[in-house]
Each structure stands twice: as C-alpha cells, then as structure tokens.
Amino acid sequence: MAPAKATNVVRLLLGSTALWLSQLGAGTVAASKSVTAHLAAKWPETPLLLEASEFMAEESNEKFWQFLETVQELAIYKQTESDYSYYNLILKKAGQFLDNLHINLLKFAFSIRAYSPAIQMFQQIAADEPPPDGCNAFVVIHKKHTCKINEIKKLLKKAASRTRPYLFKGDHKFPTNKENLPVVILYAEMGTRTFSAFHKVLSAKAQNEEILYVLRHYIQKPSSRKMYLSGYGVELAIKSTEYKALDDTQVKTVTNTTVEDETEANEVQGFLFGKLNLLVY
C-alpha cells in the first residue's frame, strides 16, 4: 500500500509541475507578443548601382562621370554574384573616388535607400516620353526617339529645327565647354551592355563638342521586389470599442464657474482689477 501511495504522490507532483511550467511558458509567450510593421513604397526596388551614382552626383558632376566609366558593364556581375558580393563590389568601385568617411555615408544611404526616390523620378520622366516598345535603352533628340545607335546621326541633322528639350536640375550632363549644342538625352540603365554601347558613341560626340549629352536613369524591367523603407516611424493606433456612461453635469457646472471667475478678473476698460492695488490716503 505504501509504495502505491508514494507513486500517486509522485504522479501528482509531476502533474502539478508540468501544469506550472505550461502556464509559465504561456505567460512568457503572451508577454513577448509584438506587432511588426513594414513600410513599402509605391515603386519597386531600385538598383543599388544607380543609387550609388546619385550619391556620386551629389558629391560632384565630375565624380559621377568618373564612377560611370568604371561601372559601364558592372550589372552583368549581378547575375552571377550574390547580393552581398555585388554590394561589396559597388563599394569597392566607389572607393576609388571616396574616402572612408564618404564610404560610410554611402553605406548609410544604402541602408535607408535615400536615393531611391531620385531613381524613380527619372523612371517616371522616361515613362512620360514614352519609351519605344522593346527597347532596353533609347535616346531622345529634340522630341525624336530611337533605340538604334545608327539612327542618331540622322536625327541630329535636323535637330536644330525642332524644339529644344527642357532640362531638369537633377539631370546628369556630360562635361563640356559649350551649352548651345543639340541635346541628346540617353535613357538607360547604367552598368548594362546596352548602356555601354550608347555611352561610347555619345561620349565621343560630346568630347568633340558635337552634342550636349544628358543621361537619365531608365530601367526597362523593374524589379518584382517591393521597395521597403527604413528610418520611418510607424504608429499602430488601436481604438477601444468599450463605451462608458459618464455623468458630465457636474463637470459642466465646475467649468462654467471657472469661466465666470476668469471673466471677473479680465480687463475692464484698460484696468486689470485683479492686479490693481488701491492706495488710500
């Protein structure tokens, strides 16, 4: 009998311990509940290489074009390298023109995607042209479009007779000594082979002072991934649906009495009787 009772006592203790541990675990899980919010932009994710070029442009126009020369076909590595390796490759290329302090600033700009809106701005400008069908890159020469390099010379012949395009403050203009030249705007994605082919022809003409070469970012096939933004506060407000009855008659009475007291202490024809001291002689 004694062993049976001892066994029952042990079972009871084990059962109580298991129940206590389960309640403790449930309480821990309940205490650790949280709400995670992600803020996504309306436009898709933009390439880091283009964002890096905008960082360079903010430094100087000269650094922008120097950086561009070193990354003409860099995007081809994106297909074979991991995202992290490609990220480090961009930083390595940028490091040729930036010191350690500015490299850290570039990393910070990448983390908050500070220059993504600028890329999207150019993308919207390109959409308003609109781009020719099936073209990875295209040029606009005084309102005439083409995505064939061999047609550029033909469109330049009568460019002066057509309206000169409007240039924006953020446009990237190839360094030249003359401004009164036919304007050729290239819409392309930096780092691609198509861009490189156009750039070689246009930069040569710009150096010979035949054209004013302007570059605007254009991504023919935008990413399918969302553009998540960081560094922005998100508030989740939960409204209580419980309604409580409250007798506010006393509150109104107290409020009215306070207003009357304040009215008596207000200015009367230029005199503040609440602060006026009368001297009696």
Instruction: Record the pTM.
Output: 0.70
Instruction: Output phi, psi for 58, to 5 deg.
Output: -70, -30
The CA distances from residue 177 to 186, 209, 235, 239, 251, in Å, are 19, 8, 52, 63, 77
The Cα–Cα gap between 273 and 266 comes to 8
Least confident stretch, 31-35, 130-134, 144-148, 176-180 = 31-35
> How is residue 180 written in tokens?
């009164």
Cα–Cα distance for residue pair 68/59, rounded to 1 Å: 14
CA distances from 48 to 109, 132, 143, 236 (A): 10, 25, 30, 31
Q: Which residues are 186's β-sheet partners?
A: 139, 215
Q: Which residue has the higher pLDDT, 221 or 39?
A: 221
Question: Which pLDDT tens digit goes with each residue over 223-251?
Answer: 888 888 776 666 666 666 666 666 666 65
Higher pLDDT, 1 or 218: 218
Delimit the domains of the chain by residue range.
40-228
Say how far apart CA 45 and CA 225 lie, in whole Å. 6
Stated length of the chain: 281
Q: Are 194 and 185 in contact (CB under 8 A)?
A: no
- Cα 31 vs. chain centroid, distance in angstroms? 34
**Predicted local distance difference test score (pLDDT) of residue 235:** 66
Model confidence over 44-95: pLDDT tens digits? Answer: 999 999 999 999 999 999 999 999 999 988 877 877 788 899 999 999 999 9
What's CA 161's distance to the chain center, in Å?
Answer: 40
